[in-house]
Amino acid sequence: MPTRRKPSTPTGGHTPVSNLSKEAAQISAVKAPVSNPPSEGTNPKTIKPRDDGAEAVKGFKMVEATEATLADLYTAPDTSELSDIGVASFGPPPPATETVHGPDDRVQITTTAVYPWRAHASLLITAADGSRWIGTGWFIGPHTLMTAGHVVYIKNSGVAGRDGWVRNIDVMPGRNGSSLPYGTVKSANFHSVIGWTNSGDENFDYGAIVIPTNLGSTTGWFGFGVFSDGDLLASVGNISGYPGDKPAGTQWYDARRIASVNPRKVFYDIDTFGGQSGSAVYRIISGGRYGIAIHAYGGATTNSGTRIVRPVFDNMVAWKA
């Protein structure tokens, strides 16, 4: 009879923390069988993915890495023309600092009530100081969505009253502009790890949102897994989310091969913009969608997410409800 390894509670920077008391967290967590494969939910109407590891999205053409694009990825930006401190000027941003690298390959998803798109949620975040932010989350279970740590817990903002657990998050799965096919669910139940909440270390920038309804049973959820460097480098990374540069609440998709990995992060040239923090970086295996990282940062030459390594995986299993 096969045995299942009981997930251990991670330690160090991955020590889990919650904004609720232990008792309250236990009460609100729904005890259910835990597994890491994906679920397509109710009546998913899923379109079969392409053979190259990307989603079959009309109008999307995946850009393959060339020597020129790779050189672009690993060349430090020229900072010799930077303005003096204190200068504020308007105009187009310097190309080297964009989080869309080269041509913008993002394609809008309009069939957001179909799996896997409906497993993504537009997030409206209200911070402790009342400021509001947008981000992205993705279901890993009926009640649980993964997102970036900085979506649920603000660290080192320098703004009085802003740092700490956010006040609440409105979760809008499958949102398409003003259309909310699954409504809005408000949550004030969050998880992260002390590597983020205590240290603000980007290597530990991940968290979870637990919603009071089992909406994920309808929308479906993503699987997630721990993969080797070789596996990841041979994978196409897919990202869909809710960027702020596009019409409000619209979902946009892009995919490219993973550029590099280290023991805690995954780096890629997949185009993103502010608002996509918390998106799944996922790969497709035998038609199933598996999260490999949680998108969190836009960089000068690559974007990056927190890699799902064993302690992250164990926390996700523990948080999955």
Partner 1 sequence: MAGKPGLISGVVRDPNGKPIIDARVYFTGGPEPLPDIAALTNSNGEFTLSAPSAGTYSIESNADGFSPKAATVAVASGQRLHLDIRLER
Degrees (nearest 5) of the Cα angle 64, 225, 101?
A: 30
| Contact stretch for partner 1 (CB under 8 A) within 13-21, 34-42, 213-221, 268-276 | 268-276
Closest CB to partner 1 among 71 and 76?
A: 76
Which residue from 96, 188, 233, 285 is in contact with partner 1, where contact means CB under 8 A?
96
273 near partner 1, judged by CB under 8 A: yes
* Strand-pair category, 280-285 with 164-165: unpaired
**Between the CA atoms of 237, 242, 246 and 250, what dihedral angle is there, to the nearest 10 degrees?**
110
How many residues contact partner 1, by CB under 8 A? 55
Query: Which residues in 121-150 contact partner 1 (CB under 8 A)?
Result: 124-125, 130-135, 148, 150
Closest CB to partner 1 among 70 and 248?
A: 248
Catalytic hit among 14, 101, 150, 295: 150
Q: Which residue in 301, 172, 298 sits closest to 242, CA to CA?
A: 172
CA 262 to chain centroid:
18
65 near partner 1, judged by CB under 8 A: no
Q: Which residues of 162-172 are buried (b: 16+ CB within 10 A; e: fewer)?
A: bbebbebbbbb
Catalytic hit among 187, 277, 279, 304: 277
Is-catalytic flag, 143? Answer: no
292 near partner 1, judged by CB under 8 A: no
Q: Which residue in 247, 249, 224 sits closest to 39, CA to CA?
A: 224
Q: Is 30 exposed, middle or buried (0-12, 13-18, 19+ CB in 10 A)?
A: middle
Q: Is 93 exposed, middle or buried (0-12, 13-18, 19+ CB in 10 A)?
A: exposed
Is-catalytic flag, 199? Answer: no
Query: Which residues in 74-93 contact partner 1 (CB under 8 A)?
Result: 79, 82-93
Residue 166 CB, shortest distance to partner 1, in Å, is: 11
| Contact stretch for partner 1 (CB under 8 A) within 14-22, 31-39, 157-165, 282-290 | 157-165
Site residues for partner 1 per CB under 8 A: 79, 82-94, 96-99, 124-125, 130-135, 148, 150-151, 156-159, 200, 202, 205, 243-245, 247-248, 272-277, 295-300, 303-304
List active site positions.
150, 277
